[in-house]
Amino acid sequence: MAFNRSLSREFVNKLNQLHDTPGSWWRTLVDSDDVFLAIRNDSINAYAKGMSIGRIGWDGKSVTLMVHEEYLSLPSEVQYLNLLKPGTQSTRPVAHDEKGYIANLGRIKNRAGRFAGGERKGTNKIACRVLTILDMEAAYTEAAENEPDPEKRQEVESDSGRLDLVVISANQRLLTFEAKLFSNGELRAKATPKVCVQLQAYHGTISARQHELVQAYSSLVGIFANLRGSFFEKRVRHPNWAAALKDPTSLTIDPIPRLLIFEYDGLQEPSNKTTMARIQDHVGIPGFDLKKHVKTLGKATSVNETHLI
């Protein structure tokens, strides 16, 4: 699967027109502090609470907004139904148009969040907070490209073929992160922790596809600069973005992925030392160093850009 980050000029122009329309659904998304907009190949995923609450596309003539029907089924004031009473029907409301989507966006976000695990929710929070993050849930395999069925919780909890976060550093170096809760059993094992296998797979992919990834993210930087709205504008004003905009050819990528561990506190330090030692022993990536490539932090809401370097 080719790795692309591109939007057609017509698509960008239409999105900017929508942003300039007061009260439009796109303006609502792009100006929301808790929504991360991830550019794909002629589409955009709007992530909130760990799940995509909208896939914005372009059919060649108009913008499309695809939302999983499960997220549009909203809570009802009626908690119980008498199934033995003839004619009983569900009273659960469904958002089925643009007005309903805008009016119930908070409820839609909460509904979607019911299908996300702690790691995806935390990663989403970090991506929204840290302005040097270019991308989240970056799929580099065909299987990972499609959003998982929200009814399959295990699939949501155990994504593969995705880079959780992609960051642009001050020297225009792209850094990739695998994000884990400290409680995740994939960090620990008597033999080789599963996270070590994941990091090795990411290293292999990044090493083999460096040029492709750099080209895609060079394109993405330019797209951000051409889109209007709070989400894009406050990012391109950041110094790390500014240098890349001035010279997109300056971008490079670090082939060694980093590991971000959050929801950790000092009381877990003995366990953490054992975990870190086992990861170092089994990761098998030349140049991998715990001090440089592993960040162990507290809450997702405490993560800032200085942690992601």
Query: For 260-294, what is each residue's pLDDT tens digit?
Result: 999 988 767 777 888 898 999 999 999 999 999 99
Contact between 172 and 243 (Cβ < 8 Å): yes
Average pLDDT over residues 68-84: 85
232: in domain: yes
89: in domain: no
148 has a pLDDT exceeding 90:
no
57 has a pLDDT exceeding 90:
yes
Instruction: Convert the pLDDT of each residue in 5-34 to its tens digit.
Output: 999 999 999 999 999 999 999 999 999 999
What is the C-alpha to C-alpha distance for residues 246 and 265, in angstroms, rounded to an integer?
41
| Residue 153 pLDDT | 47
116: in domain: yes
Binned at pLDDT 50, 70 and 90, residue 142 comes out as: low
Average pLDDT over residues 114-134: 95
88: in domain: no
Angle between helices 210-226 and 9-19 (to 10 degrees): 40
* Residue 147 neighbours by CB under 8 Å, 6+ apart: 45, 51, 52, 55, 68
87 has a pLDDT exceeding 90:
no
Mean pLDDT score of the chain? 90
113 has a pLDDT exceeding 50:
yes
Compare 216 and 95 and report the one with higher pLDDT. 216
Contact between 111 and 71 (Cβ < 8 Å): yes
Amino acid letter, 245? L
86 has a pLDDT exceeding 50:
yes
Nearest to 306 by CA among 136, 206, 178, 175: 175
Binned at pLDDT 50, 70 and 90, residue 242 comes out as: confident
**Counting runs of H as helices and runs of E as strands, what totals does the chain give?**
14, 10
Contact between 181 and 262 (Cβ < 8 Å): yes
158 has a pLDDT exceeding 90:
no
4: in domain: no
50: in domain: yes
| Residue 156 pLDDT | 45
33: in domain: yes
150 has a pLDDT exceeding 90:
no
| Residue 42 pLDDT | 93
Contact between 127 and 165 (Cβ < 8 Å): yes
The domain tally of the chain equals 1
309 has a pLDDT exceeding 90:
no
Average pLDDT over residues 120-134: 97
What is the C-alpha to C-alpha distance for residues 262 and 156, in angstroms, rounded to an integer?
18
Instruction: Convert the pLDDT of each residue in 115-124 to its tens digit.
Output: 999 999 999 9
157 has a pLDDT exceeding 90:
no
Residue labelled with tokens 């990044």: 206
Which tokens is 133 given?
């993050």
Domain span at 61: 9-83+94-307
271: in domain: yes
66 has a pLDDT exceeding 50:
yes
231 has a pLDDT exceeding 80:
yes
| Residue 189 pLDDT | 82
Average pLDDT over residues 129-148: 80
